[in-house]
Amino acid sequence: MQITSKFTVAVHILTCIEVFGSEIKVTSEFLSGSTGVNAVIVRNVLGQLRDAGIVRTRQGSGGTNLAKAPDEITLYDIYNAVDCTKDDGLFRFHENPNIKCPVGRNIHKIMDDRLEAAQTALENELKKTTLAQIVANTKKIISEE
């Protein structure tokens, strides 16, 4: 599978922006401390989120905020923003199955539709969850600690 940790890092970043943004200036250094990810990677993910219109960033220590309301941002939007699957889809097929083997020459015919259906199911599920729901769940768990 090709989903990288950038997706979960992006969700973590956006949740922090919404949870802490009204109290402090949310910087890449702050987000790095929360995510445990190098600040350079955080800035890279923020750049992708900015390019997708999900966040607004200010150079230096200006901080970051959401460009849309949390209920307008789905997990699918975030997934697409950080380019988790590139152009070749979620599943990457091995490149050289042996065409002399009956399995090798037919495996694509057997698997391609199933893998595409699995990716579609995942994407449809991601479309059902908003950042607002993630933030609400996060705040609830924090309040119960």
Class of domain 6-144: mainly alpha
Q: Which pLDDT band holds residue 1 (cuts at 50, 70, 90)?
A: very low
CB 78, CB 14: distance < 8 Å: yes
> 3-class DSSP state for residue 63?
strand
- 97-106, pLDDT tens digit by residue? 898 999 999 9
Beta strand ranges found along 49-91 (DSSP E):
55-58, 63-66
What length is written for the chain? 145
Q: pLDDT averaged over the chain?
A: 90
Characterize 120-137 residue by residue with b for buried, 16 or more Cβ atoms within 10 angstroms of its Cβ, and e for exposed: eebeeebeebbbeebbee
What pTM was computed for the model? 0.85
Q: Domain spans of the chain?
A: 6-144
Q: What is the spatial distance between Cα 82 and Cα 79, in angstroms, rounded to a whole number? A: 6
Quick one: tokens of 96? 């050289």
